[in-house]
């Protein structure tokens, strides 16, 4: 989880940042989660990685001096195939139940598009996207 959720983001930034600085601008969009704002039972390490992505994004924004725009998108529960990949039947069903009310992936794509479509002098720092209703 640390390798994918945090180190993956750091490697992505390292891959593009020199070129963005060289060309005098760019836009980095990092994906966190509502887990970057709140910790839930059994998800402490996951949330820690997302808190870290949030901190890295804010630090990068401050350090870039306005040359690179940095946006953090934090999705709430989003539709995915994750539940299908869980081997334990009880855990798989719990995940399916948790995702009963979930955002379509397109909602996250729309949030990203909003952030990157802003004029060059506008930096959308953070967007949190959640479903409007909860599973009951």
* 3-class DSSP state of 69: strand
Set 17, 34, 37, 46: catalytic member: 46
6: phi then psi, degrees, rounded to nearest 5: -110, -55
Per-residue DSSP letters for 113-131?
Answer: HHHHTS-TT----EEEE--
Q: Residue 46 catalytic? A: yes
Q: 77 and 101 in contact (C-beta within 8 Å)?
A: yes
d(CA 16, CA 18): 6
H-helix segments, the chain = 2, 8-23, 44-63, 89-98, 105-116
User: Could you give the residue numbers annotated as active site?
Assistant: 46
């Amino acid at each position: 989880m640390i390798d994918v959720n945090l180190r993956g983001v750091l490697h992505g930034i390292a891959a593009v940042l020199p070129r963005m600085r060289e060309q005098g601008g760019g836009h980095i969009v990092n994906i966190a989660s509502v887990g970057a704002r709140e910790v839930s039972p059994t998800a402490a390490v996951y949330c820690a990685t997302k808190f870290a992505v949030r901190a890295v994004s804010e630090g990068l924004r401050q350090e870039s001096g306005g040359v690179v725009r940095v946006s953090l998108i934090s999705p709430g529960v989003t539709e995915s195939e994750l539940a299908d990949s869980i081997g334990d039947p009880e855990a798989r069903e719990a995940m399916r139940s948790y995702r009963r009310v979930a955002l379509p992936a397109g909602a996250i794509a729309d949030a990203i598009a909003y952030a990157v479509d802003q004029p060059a002098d506008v930096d959308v720092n953070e967007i949190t996207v959640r479903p409007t209703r909860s599973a009951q």
